[in-house]
């Protein structure tokens, strides 16, 4: 669990990186109505959570380095007894200070009155420009108020900087405490996948298996999934972000599951593909083992000093050679790679940063070059092969096979650690687990 001091440390880091005489403004996620008076489950915006740990909508934080009355100002809902009776705890202005470390707290209703003063005489404002119309409006209205007071000596900020540019680089490097939380998300996700493997059998529906995952996650206190689970039987696996999850699972098909739990706002992201009846057919096994070979090669390419593109390039090389070997494509590997012929069966990249957002923030290129891996970064490694049923020019034995294998990988000082390695992925290990189903 992150402590008040962890959030304070992050705010300090941000403020240290901000240019001279600047201020940063960041709004919470909004509450969203699902229908009439029912709201969608609230999930705080990851940037806002990262800097404040504050879990309510209708809030806005101001980070003002060097401000005499305090550097962290939080606008939020006032405590309301009636609201507390109906929907439970909310921090109020006092809680914003005592529980969340705000130096000063104001009612969100006073934002338009107070924000100009917080921006006055600052040269530049950091905020997520263009991300949210209301937030843009709040900042620019405050700036315009100050412009209107120029003759009274007020100075309005004149430079506007995207907050993400600084903030997302901080988020890319996970602290030991963040890694501990991500390990928990990974461990519980592994249990969920294991439960799904054990529950799978012909005749069950995809949503029944989805329920097994959600059940296991929730049993460990992880009531939110990091993203909608993909539970895709047979050719549904060839739809990359399939979430319909309502088809019957057939004997002889594969089942692809891409699912991860969210722990204290941090994601896990795991994919496993296994046979519905517990035994890989020969063509399924050939495709599966090729994807696994590509995944292992890609994981090998993750280490400090290697660059972001290297795991992908390693996977593409293995997959291309394997596709030639299996007779799915023809030609010289180097030519086929150059022409991206593999894209017909492998149309996505090999991974992404992982953190509070499943597709986490952080630049992939720096100064025109793929970024080098450094200790503390976390990424996924997830090659796949998808041979859709309408690939009529390939041998029918391959059609409808979709395989992806995805693990979460932490870059360490000397190499890497696969956070999700406890989950079986060799053909033998998967078949052993499935043979033990009751």
Q: How far is the CB of 223 from Mn ion (least distance, A)?
A: 19
**Binding letters toward ligand GLY, positions 285-324, x by CB under 6 A:** ----------------------------------------
Is residue 312 among the annotated active site residues? no
Distance CA 324, CA 410 (A): 32
Minimum CB distance to ligand GLY smaller for 22 or for 350: 350
Distance CA 189, CA 269 (A): 8
Is residue 104 among the annotated active site residues? no
User: Contact residues for Mn ion (CB under 5 A)?
Assistant: 258, 269, 380, 406
State the catalytic residue, choosing from 71, 212, 262, 382: 382
Minimum CB distance to ligand GLY smaller for 156 or for 361: 361
Is residue 395 among the annotated active site residues? no
Q: Residues 403 to 422: which contact ligand GLY by CB under 6 A?
A: 406
Q: How far is the CB of 270 from Mn ion (least distance, A)?
A: 7
Which of ligand GLY, Mn ion, none is residue 227 near (CB under 5 to 8 Å by kind)? ligand GLY
State the catalytic residue, choosing from 168, 183, 272, 404: 404
State the catalytic residue, choosing from 112, 137, 223, 241: 241
DSSP for residue 385: E
Q: How far is the CB of 31 from Mn ion (least distance, A)?
A: 28
Which among 420, 416, 391 has a CA at the least distance from the CA of 406? 420
Strand order in the sheet with 416-418: 378-381, 407-411, 416-418
Q: Are strands 159-162 and 124-127 parallel, antiparallel or unpaired?
A: parallel
Q: How far is the CB of 188 from ligand GLY (least distance, A)?
A: 16
Q: How far is the CB of 226 from ligand GLY (least distance, A)?
A: 8
Is residue 55 among the annotated active site residues? no
Is residue 258 among the annotated active site residues? yes
Q: How far is the CB of 237 from ligand GLY (least distance, A)?
A: 13
Is residue 374 among the annotated active site residues? no
> How far, CA to CA in Å, does 181 sit from each of 1, 2, 127, 186, 267?
7, 9, 28, 9, 9
Q: How far is the CB of 268 from ligand GLY (least distance, A)?
A: 10
Minimum CB distance to Mn ion smaller for 75 or for 353: 353
Q: How far is the CB of 247 from ligand GLY (least distance, A)?
A: 19
- Cβ atoms of residues 126 and 161 within 8 Å: yes
DSSP bridge pairs for 263:
266
- Cβ atoms of residues 316 and 337 within 8 Å: yes
Minimum CB distance to ligand GLY smaller for 44 or for 225: 225
Measured in degrees and rounded to the nearest 5, phi and psi for residue 402 equal -130, 125
Is residue 386 among the annotated active site residues? yes
| Helix locations, 18-132, DSSP H | 46-52, 81-87, 92-98, 111-119
Is residue 258 at the binding interface for ligand GLY, with CB under 6 A as the rule? yes
Give the tokens for residue 124: 């530049």
Among 79, 160, 173, 227, binds ligand GLY (CB under 6 A): 227
For 372-393, give one letter per residue: b (16+ CB within 10 A) or e: ebeebbbbbbbbbbbbbeebee
Using alpha carbons only, give the angle 344, 280, 256 rounded to the nearest 5 degrees: 55
Q: Residues 319 to 358: which contact ligand GLY by CB under 6 A?
A: 352, 358
In which residue are the tokens 């394997």 written? Answer: 322
- Count CB neighbours of 398 within 10 A: 19
Is residue 39 among the annotated active site residues? no
Is residue 262 at the binding interface for ligand GLY, with CB under 6 A as the rule? no
HEC secondary structure over 247-280: CECCCCCEEEEEECEEECCEECCEEEEEECCCCC
Is residue 360 at the binding interface for ligand GLY, with CB under 6 A as the rule? no
Is residue 208 among the annotated active site residues? no
- Cβ atoms of residues 403 and 256 within 8 Å: yes
State the catalytic residue, choosing from 164, 208, 216, 258: 258
| Helix locations, 301-340, DSSP H | 309-325, 333-338
Is residue 408 among the annotated active site residues? no
Is residue 94 among the annotated active site residues? no
State the catalytic residue, choosing from 187, 253, 406, 407: 406
Minimum CB distance to Mn ion smaller for 63 or for 242: 242
State the catalytic residue, choosing from 89, 112, 359, 437: 359
Is residue 269 at the binding interface for ligand GLY, with CB under 6 A as the rule? yes
Contacts of 217 (CB under 8 A, 6+ apart): 188, 189, 192, 223, 225, 261
Minimum CB distance to ligand GLY smaller for 18 or for 190: 190
**Residues near ligand GLY (CB under 6 A):** 227, 258, 269, 352, 358, 382, 406
Known catalytic residues are 37, 241, 258, 269, 348, 352, 359, 382, 386, 404, 406
């Amino acid at each position: 669990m992150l402590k008040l001091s962890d959030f304070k440390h992050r705010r300090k880091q941000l403020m240290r990186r901000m240019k001279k005489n600047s201020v940063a403004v960041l709004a919470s996620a909004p509450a969203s109505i699902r229908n009439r008076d029912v709201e969608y489950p609230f999930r705080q915006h990851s940037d806002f959570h990262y800097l404040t740990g504050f879990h309510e909508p209708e809030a806005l934080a101001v980070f003002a380095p060097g401000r005499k009355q305090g550097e962290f100002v939080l606008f939020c809902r006032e405590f309301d007894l009636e609201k507390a009776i109906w929907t439970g705890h909310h921090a109020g202005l006092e809680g914003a200070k005592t529980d969340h470390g705000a130096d000063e707290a104001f009612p969100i209703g006073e934002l338009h009155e107070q924000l100009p003063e917080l921006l006055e005489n600052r040269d530049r404002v950091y905020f997520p420009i263009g991300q949210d119309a209301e937030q843009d409006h709040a900042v620019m209205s405050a700036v315009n108020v100050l412009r209107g007071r120029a003759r009274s000596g007020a100075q309005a900020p004149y430079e506007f900087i995207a907050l993400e540019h600084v903030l997302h680089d901080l988020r890319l490097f996970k602290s030991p405490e963040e890694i501990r939380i991500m390990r928990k998300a990974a461990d519980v996700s592994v249990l969920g996948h294991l439960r799904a493997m054990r529950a799978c059998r012909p005749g069950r529906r995809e949503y029944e298996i989805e329920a097994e995952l959600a059940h296991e996650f929730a049993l460990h206190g992880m009531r939110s999934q990091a993203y909608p689970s993909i539970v895709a039987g047979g050719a549904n696996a060839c739809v990359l972000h399939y979430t319909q999850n309502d088809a019957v699972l057939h004997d002889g098909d594969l089942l692809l599951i891409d699912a991860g739990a969210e722990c204290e706002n941090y994601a896990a992201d795991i994919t496993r593909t296994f046979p519905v009846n517990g035994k890989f057919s020969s063509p399924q096994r050939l495709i599966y083992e090729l994807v696994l070979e590509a995944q292992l090669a890609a994981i090998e390419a993750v280490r400090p000093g290697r660059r972001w593109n290297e795991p992908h390039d390693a996977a593409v090389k293995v997959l291309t050679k394997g596709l030639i070997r299996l007779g799915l494509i023809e030609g010289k590997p180097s030519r086929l790679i150059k022409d991206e012929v593999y894209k017909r069966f492998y149309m996505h990249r090999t991974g992404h940063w992982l953190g509070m957002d499943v597709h986490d923030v952080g630049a992939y290129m720096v100064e025109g070059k793929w970024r080098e891996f450094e200790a503390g970064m976390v990424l996924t490694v997830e090659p796949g092969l998808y041979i859709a049923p309408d690939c009529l020019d390939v041998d029918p034995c391959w059609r409808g096979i979709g395989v992806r294998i995805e693990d979460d990988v932490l870059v360490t000082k000397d190499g890497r650690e696969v956070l999700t390695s406890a989950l079986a992925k060799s053909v033998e290990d998967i078949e052993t687990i499935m043979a033990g189903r009751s």
